[in-house]
Structure 1
């Protein structure tokens, strides 16, 4: 028994990837979570017309942890349009005799929630029983978590599953000798990568279409924009996932090692997919989203589903996915050179 235990310990110590998985990966992920989910120093901005707000309430609001933007009465009356034009303002606070106290936000988010919390603290110091109505430019207060974050799950599930399948399959091809025999033929390395990408990309596209149709027609996920653009973003994201899986497989010698790389390759992308507002992340770490392929796909899907965007609004994200896929293709073609014996 002890002999077997000693052998397992020695094998694990000699496997650098296993050591990294056991010792380094948890610390890396926990550190990332600490920065992303820890206390934020973000100070929300609330727009209001001070002439329509009682002076004691204005004083109480100034004592809270928020910035006040003085807006005109016309802007206050058209709060939703103002928020569309000024996304640096997190909420509009208005008081009228007919509708009472109202808080208008751009969309359900932690930034808007923080603004509401500060307003409620100020109001509680004056009138604890006061009630406020809340509304959004995009989204509703009573929508479920799945409805409000459905765009994130669409992108993540598609990318994660395709990455796992393509990465493991390519490692199996190499370990079985199929890839080496293929490279001994006159076929070019670029054609090999393109062939694998097209082959697995077909199933990735089918999966993306199936996920979208099932989510909208069976799970009743709602979308403001055209479903066709959602499919386009999902397909591009799935094809990028195939290339991403191929790149990771180059550095793995077994299916297990592909799984071991998940904490370093996939988990960080979850946090930069839209679950957390990127401008709330300290030390400008939110800018890391631009090296995450999931960010581009999820941002395009959100634009269509939540804001009703069309091609003119989402094309930068689609272009980002195309550029990412092309760069991965070039990297994979170059990396494949080390497996060519002849």
Structure 2
């Protein structure tokens, strides 16, 4: 028994990746959680109309308040002006209007609670079933779950191709590296595209997930995101010598991306860490899914995120082709 214990400890101590996953990765993840989920100091932006001086003074203590002289068009005003909420008063009492439920609107509700207002009517433009948590975060789960399993499948398959020397024998033939990467990407991409369709159809027709916009557009976004997952899996497999080492990349590659999937508003993340989202394929996919699933937007609104996701795939393809050079034996 002691010889087994000694051998296992020696293997782990000599494996820098295992040591990093045991000690470095948890510290990095908790540090990231501290910066992202800690008190961001975000000050909600609230526009008020026809409210009393008492309400106005109370809101100004914990919010950035803007007073308007005329009642704006609610939805368009919030989307164009970047405000988090609109509060107005009439004979029925105070009214609070917000686009959807998020960390930002939670700050708004906290500011409203501080003024001890009674008889306040709260409305959301994009209301989801309050008894079903899946509806409000469906765009996150659709993107993250699909990306995760495709990353694992493609990455392990690439590693297996290498350890079986299939890839090395292929590269000894007069074949371009870009052709090899393209073939693998399309092959696994087709399988992952089918998976995306199955996941979406199951979510909608079996789990009764509410989708405000186009089903076809949602499926298209998930398919493009799955191709990005294949490319990320191929990239990580180049740095892994076996399947276990590939799994060890999950805390470093996948978990940080989840924080940029829409769980947390990016502009509430302190120290400018929200800008790291542009390096995460999951950000582009989940942002586009949110626009379609929650807001019901069309291709004319989401095309920047789709182009960003396609751009990530191209960059990863070029990078994979370049790094594959180290396995060529001529």
> Secondary structure of the residue that 2:110 maps to in structure 1?
helix
User: For residue 313 of structure 1, what is the aligned residue in structure 2?
Assistant: 301
> Secondary structure of the residue that 2:115 maps to in structure 1?
helix
Whole-Å Cα distance in 1 between the matches of residues 207 and 252 of structure 2? 32
Count of matched residue pairs: 330
Root mean square deviation, CA, Å: 1.3
Paired residues of 2:143 and 2:222 also in contact (CA < 8 A): yes
Paired residues of 2:129 and 2:135 also in contact (CA < 8 A): no
The structural deviation recorded for 1:176 is 0.9
The structural deviation recorded for 1:266 is 0.4
> Secondary structure of the residue that 2:323 maps to in structure 1?
helix
Q: TM-score, normalised by structure 1?
A: 0.93
Whole-Å Cα distance in 2 between the matches of residues 57 and 322 of structure 1? 48
User: For residue 67 of structure 1, what is the aligned residue in structure 2?
Assistant: 64
> Secondary structure of the residue that 1:123 maps to in structure 2?
coil
> Secondary structure of the residue that 2:121 maps to in structure 1?
strand
Whole-Å Cα distance in 1 between the matches of residues 108 and 279 of structure 2? 30
> Secondary structure of the residue that 1:74 maps to in structure 2?
coil
Matches within 5 A, 1:1-342: 1-49=1-49, 52-62=50-60, 64-75=61-72, 78-87=73-82, 89-97=83-91, 99-123=92-116, 130-140=118-128, 142=130, 144-342=132-330
The structural deviation recorded for 1:143 is 5.5
Q: Which moved more, 1:267-276 or 1:213-222?
A: 213-222
The structural deviation recorded for 1:300 is 0.8
Aligned structure 1 segments of 4 or more residues deviating by more than 3 angstroms: none
Structure 2: tracts of 5 or more residues without a match: none
Relative to structure 1, the CA distance from residue 43 to residue 175 in structure 2 (aligned partners, 3 Å threshold; closer, same or farther) is: same
Q: Which moved more, 1:283-292 or 1:36-45?
A: 36-45
Q: Could you give the per-residue CA deviations for residues 73-124 of structure 1, whole angstroms, max 9, x where no partner exists?
A: 322xx3333213222x111111111x32211012111111111111111125
The structural deviation recorded for 1:140 is 4.1
Q: Which moved more, 1:155-164 or 1:102-111?
A: 102-111
Paired residues of 1:12 and 1:18 also in contact (CA < 8 A): yes
Whole-Å Cα distance in 1 between the matches of residues 292 and 113 of structure 2? 32
The structural deviation recorded for 1:2 is 2.3
